[in-house]
A and B are shown apart, each in its own frame.
Chain A
Amino acid sequence: MDCALISIATGEKAQNLRELRDCLKTTHRGSLYFHFWGGLLRQHSSDTEFQNDLANWAYRGLNDVRVAEQLSLIDPNIHKDLESLRREVIEVIEQRLFETEYIPWAKPGNEFQFIRSQTVVFDTGIRINDPEKLKDIIPNLTLSSIFYHFIDARRRTIEHKNDFILWLAGFGNKYSKLIARLDIIDPYFTTLSELREETGNLFKQYFKNSA
C-alpha cells in the first residue's frame, strides 16, 4: 500500500501560549497527527531544531526554549490514541503557564496555524507471501509507503505496531527475533529515508544470517 497526504488549514491560529492551549483543547485530532507526524513527509523540515511543529513554534515564534524542549520530548508513539496525546500536550503547556508570570507572544505574522491532513491510501498492486522478499522490496518503497506502513500503522492498528511486525506475527514464532528488532526501531527521531534504510538493512542482515 502507499499513501499521499494533503493539508487542510483548520482556520485556528494562536498568537501566544494560552491561545495555543485553548485551540489544542478543541482542534480536530487530525491536527495533532499532522503537527506531530506530518513533518516526516514534509522533508524540508527534517533538519529543524525540534521534533514537532508545536515545539518548533514555541522556540522560533515564542522564543520560549523551555517549553519548546518539553514539547519536543513528548513521544507520540507511547500514546494509544490522539486524545491521549492531546492531554499530554495540554498538560505540558498548562504546567508552563502555571510556572511563568509572563505569557510569551509571537509577533504578528508568526502565529501558529493549525493544519490537519487527509490521507489517501491506495493499493500499489505489490503482493508477497515470503518475508525474505522484503529485503529487496523495502529499499525501493516510496517514502510515503514507508510512512503508511511504519507510522500510520501505529495509529491505525489495535496493537499500535507497524505493519511489518503485524504481518510477520502471522507466521507464529518463526520470525520472533526479527519482530523484536523491528519493534525497537524508533521512528520519531529520524527521517523517512533513514527509516527505510534502517529497516531495509535489518531485513538484509536478518536473512543473511539465517541463510
Chain B
Amino acid sequence: MKSLLEQYAVIVGNEVIDHLKQLAHPLKGMKILHINSTKEGGGVAEILNQLIPLKRELGIDAEWEVIKGTPEFYQCTKKMHNALQGTREEISDTLLKAYEETNRDNYEQLRSRLQEASVVFIHDPQPAPLLRYCKDCTGRKGKWLWRCHIDVSHPFRPVWKYLREYVEGYDASIWSLADFAQPLSHPLYLIPPSIDPLSDKNRELTENEISEVLSSWNIDRNIPVITQVSRFDRFKDPIGVIQAYQLVRQYTPVQLVLAGGSATDDPEGAQVLAEVKEFAGNDTNIHILELPPDAHRAINALQRGSDIVLQKSLREGFGLTVTEALWKGKPVIAGQTGGIRLQIINHYNGFLVNTPEGAALRLRYLLKHPDIMETMGRRAREIVLNNFLITRHLQEYLTLVLALIYGSEDTIEIKMHATA
C-alpha cells in the first residue's frame, strides 16, 4: 500500500513532494491544532480530512478538533454566516449569548490542547472566540491563526463589527482571495482553497463507471452534454443556464444537466428548484437532478461525462465546482465573478461571461470546434495541477507557519539543514 505522499507524487510529481518535505523538516514534531465546527460535510471538513494525515506523514504532530454546540449556537452561526456574506441578518442577544457560552464551554474542554499547541488554526466564525478565553487564562504558548473560508467582502456591518472584536487578537488571518478580506490590524495572508485529486469527487473513473452513472439518468452520451453542478440558488443563475441552452439547441443538438443538492432542508432552494422545473417545461433534453450530499462519485462521473461545464454564477465565492471541472479537463464557461476569475483565463482554458447570450455564444463556438475544446481542456487541467490541488494548499500552510515562527521580514532564512 502506497503512503499518501507517494499517492500524491504520482499526480503532482516527486519535485512537489520533495519541496513539501523540505518545508516540513524544520516543523517536525511541532504541535499544530486545527479547530472547526463539523467533522463531515462542507468544504472545510473535506480539506481537513486530507490535510491532517498529510501533515502527520510529514512528521508534524497535527491534530483536528471539532467544537460542539447547542441548536441555538448553530442557529446563531448560520445567521452569522449569511450576514458575513452580505445578507441583512439581525442576530438576537440570546443567540449571541449561546455563541459565546458554547465557545467558553468548548474552551474548557480543549484548554490543555489549545495552550500546548505551537500553532492553532481556527476555521471560520464558529470557534473564533476561543482565543478570547485562552487569552484570559495564562499559558497561551503558540501562534493563533484565523482561517476565513467565506467571502466577507460585503458583510452586514453590525455582525462583522461583532465578530471583528474576536478576530482582531489573532496573530494573523488567512483569506481565500484579497477581494474577500476585511482590513484588520494583523497580517492578512492569502491562500486560495484547493481540491483533493484522490477524493471520490475527483479521482479518475473508468469509462464504464462514467457511462453507468450517466445512463442511470437517461443521459445520451451520443449527444453533447453541458452541465452545471450547483445548489439551486438564484446566485447560480440556473434559469440563465437554461436560457443559454435554449439559444444553443436551435443550432445544434445538445443536452443540459442541472445537478444540485436535494432541497428538502432549504426552503428557498425548493422554491428555486420549482421555478427551474417550470422554466425547463417538458424538454426531455434537460435533466434536472437532485443529488444527496454524499453523491461525490456521481458528480465526478457527471463532470467527466460532460463536454462542457457551466458555472454561470452571478455571485460566487471561490467556485470549487469550477476547479473540479477544470481538473477533469473540461473547458468551463462561467460568470465573471469571485474566485472564478482567478481560475479561468478568458479564451485560454474557458470563457468568462456576463449574460445567457454570452454563455450561448461560447457554447456554440466550442461545440463547433472540438479541437479547441480539447486544447482548452488540457490547459484547464494543467492550471489546477499547478495551482489548486491540496499539495499547493499544504505548501502554503507550511510556508505561513515558517514565516510566523521564524520572523516577519520580507525574506526569512531557515538556517536549519532541510533534507528530504
Contacts and interface: CB of A to CB of B under 8 A. Distances in A.
Interface of A: 2, 4-9, 11, 13, 30, 33, 42-45, 47-48, 109, 111, 113, 115-125, 140, 142, 144, 152, 156
Given A11-B183, A142-B18, A5 B399 contact: yes
B387 A44 contact: yes
A118 B410 contact: yes
Contact of B387 (A42, A48, A120): A42
22 contacts: A2-B22, A4-B23, A4-B395, A4-B399, A6-B399, A9-B181, A9-B190, A33-B410, A44-B342, A44-B343, A45-B345, A115-B178, A118-B403, A118-B411, A119-B411, A122-B26, A122-B413, A125-B419, A125-B420, A142-B18, A144-B19, A152-B411
Nearest to B192: A7
B399 A48 contact: no
Contacts of A122: 22-23, 25-26, 413-414, 416, 418
B57 interface: no
A113 B342 CA distance: 13
A9 B387 CA distance: 18
B411 A123 contact: no
Contacts of B22: 2, 122, 124
B280 interface: no
B278 interface: no
Interface of B: 15, 18-19, 22-23, 25-26, 175, 178-179, 181, 183, 187-191, 337, 342-343, 345, 348, 383, 386-387, 395-396, 398-400, 402-403, 406, 408-420
Contacts of B345: 44-45, 47-48
B232 to A, nearest CB: 24
Contacts of A117: 410
B333 to A, nearest CB: 18
B67 to A, nearest CB: 27
Given A4-B395, A4-B399, A43-B387, A121 B188 contact: no
A58 B25 CA distance: 41
A119 B19 contact: no
Nearest to B384: A44
Contacts of A2: 19, 22
Contacts of A109: 179, 337
A44 B403 CA distance: 24
A151 B187 CA distance: 25
Contacts of B179: 109, 111, 113
A9 B178 contact: yes
Given A8-B190, A9-B189, 14 more contacts: A4-B23, A6-B399, A6-B403, A7-B191, A11-B183, A42-B387, A44-B345, A44-B383, A109-B337, A120-B402, A120-B414, A121-B411, A123-B418, A124-B418
Contacts of A120: 23, 399, 402-403, 406, 412, 414
A158 to B, nearest CB: 15
A33 B179 CA distance: 20
B170 to A, nearest CB: 14
A8 B187 contact: yes
A125 B189 contact: no
Contact of A30 (B190, B342, B410): B410
A8 B387 CA distance: 17
Contacts of A6: 189, 191, 396, 399-400, 403
A48 B347 CA distance: 10
A124 B419 CA distance: 6
Contacts of B418: 122-125
A141 B284 CA distance: 54
A44 B386 contact: yes
Contact of B181 (A11, A33, A44): A11
Contacts of B414: 120-123
Most buried by B among A113, A120, A123: A120
